[in-house]
Structure 1
Amino acid sequence: MILRDGLRSVGAAVRLWWAPARVREEGSTPDYRFSLANERTFLAWLRTGLALVGGGFAVDQFLPRLSGTLRLTCTVVLLVAGALCALRAVNHWVRCELAMRRGEDLPLSRFPSVLALGVGVLAAVLVVLVVLGRTG
């Protein structure tokens, strides 16, 4: 029952991604400056996702001497993180837009912290491998 309700909630949220006009049905129109700032944040998340995807391809192409399993792991982690950033971008945009229209506090998320920690750990591993000369 709880899982089914959770899936319905996720489904409803995803449907809003494809029907932004439905977001306008909620509450009242916020100051356009806030909506535009929300859109700029959305675009920043997309750029971050693209950078992570590019980093994944860079690891795969430019670190050929890195152990096959380690190279594949780093590549996949970066590609998945990029995909998650893109999905998170649209989800966050919709949630913030709805909150502004309803006069609610903006939603909080742990995603930026998790992403930063993951990228930081992966970067540290790659730095160690480069220093040890195992990448090149």
Structure 2
Amino acid sequence: MPGGVDARFTLAAERTVLAWVRTALGFMAAGVAVVYVAGDIEHPILETALGLIMVALGCVIALLGAWRWRQTSLALREGGEMPGPAHVTFLIVGIVVVAVAIAVVIVIQT
């Protein structure tokens, strides 16, 4: 159809948003696991804070993924700018911050 979007691009955008959702669910599950499964942390406030931060970050990742998917779909359909790398940078920074926090907690425990 003239002016239509190639299905390959639409499906690629859907696969990308599903990857964002998988990452978000991973963060949420890990946050719940930190609070309810990992009972090794001596400071329960630290354990709860780390778990809540991971769940909140998972929620933010899911919302950012949905927003990027919507922006990408609009850009494919109507033309215009594709979403920039800011959200991906946020995701990378979030992962690094959580990893460092976990490392700090492990060091404090030993």
**TM-score (norm. length: structure 2):** 0.85
Matched, 1:33 2:1: no
* Runs of 4+ that moved beyond 3 A: none
Q: Counterpart amino acid of 1:53?
A: M
Matches within 5 A, 1:86-101: 86-101=62-77
Q: What does residue 27 of structure 2 align with?
A: 52
- Give the secondary structure class of the aligned counterpart of 1:71: helix
Alignment partners' CA distance in 1, 2:76 and 2:23 = 24
Question: Which residue does 2:56 correspond to in 1?
Answer: 80
Aligned residue number for residue 37 of structure 2: 62
Secondary structure class of the residue paired with 2:72: helix
* CA–CA separation in structure 2 for the residues paired with 1:85 and 1:125: 18
Structure with bigger gyration radius: 1
Report the residue type matching 2:25 in the other structure.
L
| Runs of at least 5 residues in structure 2 that lack an aligned partner in the other structure | none
Q: Aligned partners of 1:73, 1:111: CA distance in 2, in Å?
A: 24
Q: Which SS does the other structure have where 1:30 is aligned?
A: coil
Aligned to 1:119: 95
Q: Percent identity?
A: 32
For the aligned residue pairs, the C-alpha RMSD in angstroms reads 1.8
Gaps of 5+ in 1: 1-27
- What is the total number of aligned residue pairs between the two structures? 107
- Structure 1 length normalisation: TM-score? 0.70
For residues 30 and 87 of structure 1, what CA distance do their matches in structure 2 show?
24
